[in-house]
Structure 1
Amino acid sequence: MKKILIIFCLGALLSTGCEDLLDTEPTDQISRENALSDLPGVKSLLISGYSALRDDQYYGYHYMTMPDVLADNIKAAIGAGTGRLSLEAINTVGETFELWATGYFIINVTNTVLERIDGVEGSEAEKNQIRGASYFLRALTYHDLVKTYSRDPGNGGGPGVPILLESFDGLDADAFPARASVNDVYTQIEQDLQSAISLLDNASERYPYEATQVAAKALMSRVKLYQEQWQEAANFAQQVIDEAPVTLENGDNYVNIFLQASEAIFSVNFQLPSDALNVNIQLSQFYRVTGSGVGAGDGVVRMGLLEQYEGFDFSDDSGVTDKRFSILDRQMHGPEEVYFALKYNSYKGPGLDDVNVIRLAEMYLNQAEAFAELGDEDMARQKINVIRSRAGLSDITNAFSGDLLKNEIFKQRRIELAFEGHRFFDLKRRAMDIPKGISGVDCTTECTIVNGDFRVLANIPAREIRVNSSLVQNPGYN
């Protein structure tokens, strides 16, 4: 996606269409007249917000690889591939997330939709759906921004990200806000999600690619987890489990979660050939190489993650009983034998893989963690055993208590959600260090990134600091 200053994003969108900002079908391109005067135009503008989720700096690529590369799930292949993200794999200063421009583009789109929707004709039910979807997208984007550029509420808080609730077009002074506090950003996220829950419906045809009431509740569960509001995190997760039109996929068909988005609550859809990103920045290219040589295989699974699978032995992995192990593929790659992740395997065509932003398994994991923190260990074991049972593992018993239980829950979260954009943020929100691997094998000079390291926060783009004197850069990047 063309990276331009956010202050010009909506002006470019409304005057020339979305083609410079999004790789989408012509139906996503809108004129100023259509965008501002009727319901189809406003809806098209909202579609451009959905489409921006496919951007290479967001769920299309970067935001789904970096959390595993910056953490301890993925390392750069040795002597093979293209070398993409090799600097990120060793946490080089400045080699981190670049979500700012895409995030504020989406926020500006949703703000414009919310401002314009009241002035166009149409049924109130349809307009409420558009309003609710806008609140959902704004909340999702703000949460991704604040957890990327700021400390989490339970881990110091501090400066968050700017809160923009009105659209801007051009060099308006209101387009240069200071950073709000982390707590204020979370308050806004919760307000948006409450609005989304009150406005959205749960029509089955909307799943999983459009905002629904259940998707808003699922995101609220995640937001509450990050704030360590454990009871509410568990409560919202339960509502999702009760109300979602999906169930956990059978463990023998684990690949269907990614092949068919079978347990997705909200997913980013890559359906048409025009949806696919450039071949060099497709998830399937980064995460694997097929037998016919398709793919670069830049990112390979770290030994630390492999060892989490019960029964794993590198010399003979036939003893692994965990059904989730089926999503890994062992091959020779360059000078080493490695495991590739197959959650993105061009299942619907070259570069076309649905990206599960929220899926049902996360809700059980949220509950397990929340109940463990609340001291309700029986419920925590019950919830984590749902995940273990689906994976073909035996239930844990009362012998798992205290820190042993919490470690088991975090271990299962790591395995279950690997390569789906969670690991770095999970370590960060729990104030945990990031182990980079074995000295001389997976890392060289620095094998642990401590939680207090400034690199656990992304740097705000220099272009934003230059044009907005109110912005304060994160420590270590000046």
Structure 2
Amino acid sequence: MTSTYKTIRGIIHTIHWSSLLVLMMGLFLGSCEEFVDIAPPTNELTGSVVFEEAATVDAAFAHIHSQLREDVFTTGTVSGLSYLMGHYTDELTLYSNVLPEVQEFANGRLTSSNGSVERLWDGTYELIYATNSILEGVQNSTELAQEDVHRFLGEAYFLRAFLHFHLMELFGPVPFIDSTNFDINSKAGRMDLEPLSILILEDLRLAKELLAQVEAADNYRPNYWTVTAFLARFYLYREEWSNALTEVLEVDKDGPFGLEEDLLQVFKKDSPETLWQLDSGLPGNNTKEGSTFVFSEGPPPNSALNNDFINRFEAGDGRLQAWVGQVVGDSETWYYANKYKLNAPSPSTEECSILFRLSELYLIGAEAYAHLGQDAEALAYLNRVRQRALLDPISGLSGTALLDAIYKERAVELFSEQGHRFFDLKRTARADAILGAIKPEWEPFAINLPIPQSDLLLNPNLAPQNEGY
């Protein structure tokens, strides 16, 4: 084994197993060092040793989850989808003049050298590599208990699907990386969407089957219910309405979740509607979103909610008061996403970044029912979300009018959360009409982000570049 690191950006980082073990121990001690910055240790250990005990496998997962919180598309910082795609769509207005990469998102015209786009690509593939490392190590282990094997493999298959899914939805055809083989991965080409989707679905089905055999972990780790919820989202995006509905109904009827009726408590770490949230890292830490979106003086130092977005809220919508903050200036009022209210540590952690929550499942159910022509059932799910928002139920809608009501509800329920607005506009073919009207530089090809030019240069098999870039 070699102690030299070979870094191929965009596809794979070849990590020495002994360095991974050092990383794991560092995580237990609160280390925040980067995955690829760990110095090789003097004592060489093989990959099989890393997977002899459940504790070291858990530590490998802890690394992945810390990266989800801190660095990749799920982070609540300016590098994550909640922020970047808020600017790429119609949720956020940029006030800062020192964020040129974000300005490209706000303009609707990205370049293939955009550093934020490059980080979305590279960081996600780095975690796919780390996930494949766990899969291979656990599959080859002879010491782990069978229940631990099922739990680890189930979580890893889910994460690999989750990561590839977001790459596909952002970039279109992308490579599917399912091993740690350096030679193969460094030459990987992009897959068409249908075979790519099938591989993602296979991982999700495996994950669900494996996690059904173990007791569900707490909601800081993906468990059976997380996979079921993600399958509902996956099928919705594929327009497989009956399959999406099946997954929704399983969570709704059999899962230990309930809609949090107090809007001020929805994003607290103990909310009963949370299916998966990211651990805060250290006791007393709160979310990155709080630091990114909340501000106290005007003009905004960074970004604010678009005023036209504010106008989407109906009169009396409790979410406007509970989830939107405002700063009043001499002649102008600015608004900010206030779902996560704490932008500093507290005596104990109160808020964690939520990736899946029950209200999204209700809106998936509403949309699936609407497409299946079951209007009464669609309205029932839609009105559960509306009534929690202190709005009157709606009735008598069908067809396009019903779908439009659901899309509107998704916009005001899921704003500033994980790029939902962008993905909704993309999958429903409404992006050009809505974004083209407000972004002078928007073109239809912008629905797929550019493949980072640096990665195209390293791996010519990623060519051709996405249209328009």
Query: Does TM, normalized by the shorter one, top 0.5?
Result: yes
Please say if residues 229 and 248 of structure 2, whose CA atoms lie closer than 8 Å, have aligned partners that are also in contact: yes
Greater mean deviation of Cα atoms: 218-227 or 10-19? 10-19
The 8 Å contact of residues 435 and 449 in structure 1, kept in 2 or not, is answered as no
1:298: which partner in 2?
302
Gaps of 5+ in 1: 151-159, 312-319
Residue in 1 that maps onto 2:129: 108
Structure 2 counterpart SS, 1:112: helix
Question: Residues 338-370 of structure 1: CA distance to partner in whole angstroms, max 9, x if unpaired?
Answer: 111112333672799522111111100001111
2:268 matched residue in structure 1: 259
Q: Which amino acid aligns with 1:36?
A: S
Which amino acid in structure 2 is aligned with residue 69 of structure 1?
H
Counterpart for residue 409 of structure 1: 406
1:471 corresponds to which residue? 462
Residue 149 of structure 1 contacts residue 458 of structure 1 at CA under 8 Å; is this kept in 2? yes
Aligned to 1:419: 416
1:166 paired with 2:179, answer: yes
Alignment CA distance shift 1:333-1:238 (3 Å):
farther
Q: 1:296 to 1:125 in 2, by over 3 A?
A: farther
SS of the equivalent of 1:310 reads coil
Please point out which of 171, 179, 188 is paired with 2:199.
188
TM-score, normalised to structure 2, is 0.84
Q: Which amino acid aligns with 2:109?
A: T
Q: Structure 2: how far apart are the matches of 1:76 and 1:27? A: 30
Gaps of 5+ in 2: 1-6
Q: Could you report, residue by residue, the CA deviation over 1:218-251 in whole angstroms, capped at 9, with x for unpaired residues?
A: 000000011000111111011111233221111x
Instruction: Name the residue aligned to 1:87.
Output: 104
Would you say 1:11 and 2:9 are equivalent positions? no
CA contact (8 A) 2:188 2:462 kept: yes
Q: Is the 8 A contact 1:202 1:212 kept in 2?
A: no
**Structure-2 residue corresponding to 1:155:** none
Task: Tell me the alpha carbon deviations over residues 49-78 of structure 1, each in whole angstroms, 9 at most, x when there is no partner.
Answer: 222212333211222212221111111137
State how far apart, in whole Å, the 2-side matches of 1:8 and 1:49 are.
15
Range moving further from structure 2, 213-222 or 57-66:
57-66
Alpha-carbon distance, 1:25 to partner: 2.5
Secondary structure at the aligned position of 1:221 is classed as helix
Superposition map of 1:197-212 within 5 A = 197-201=208-212, 206-212=217-223
Cα shift readout 1:344-400 (whole Å, capped 9, x = no counterpart): 3336727995221111111000011111111111111111011111111111111x2
Q: Is 1:342 equivalent to 2:338 in the alignment?
A: yes
Task: Tell me the distance in 2 between the aligned counterparts of 1:204 and 1:223.
Answer: 24
Cα contact 2:411–2:421 (8 A) shared by 1: yes
Output aligned runs, 1:108-257, within 5 Å: 108-120=129-141, 121-150=143-172, 160-169=173-182, 172-201=183-212, 206-250=217-261, 253-257=262-266
Q: Find 1:429's aligned residue among 427, 430, 434.
A: 427
Are residues 328 and 65 of structure 1, via their aligned partners in 2, closer, same or farther at CA, if it must alter by over 3 Å?
Answer: same
- Structure 2 distance, partners of 1:438, 1:429, is 16
Counterpart for residue 30 of structure 2 = 25
Q: 1:267 to 1:434 in 2, by over 3 A?
A: farther
Q: Secondary structure at the match of 2:450?
A: coil
How far does the alpha carbon of each residue in 1:67-122 deviate from its partner, in whole angstroms, 9 at most, with x for none? 2211111111378x978833321223225644211111111112111111133202
Aligned residues of 2:57 and 2:134 also touching (Cα < 8 A): yes
Count of residue correspondences:
438
Does residue 292 of structure 2 align to residue 286 of structure 1? yes
Question: Alpha carbons of 1:326 and 1:456: their partners in 2 closer, same or farther (altered >3 Å)?
Answer: same
Normalising by structure 1, report the TM-score: 0.82
Equivalent of residue 91 in structure 2, options 66, 73, 89: 73
Alignment RMSD (CA, Å): 3.3
| Identity value in percent | 24
1:454 to 435, 445, 448: 445
Report the Cα offset of residue 213 of structure 1.
Answer: 0.7
Q: Indicate conservation of the 8 Å contact 2:431/2:447, yes or no.
A: no
CA distance in structure 2 between the partners assigned to 1:9 and 1:113 by the alignment: 14
Structure 1 residues 360 and 6: alpha-carbon distance in aligned structure 2, compared to 1, 3 A threshold: same
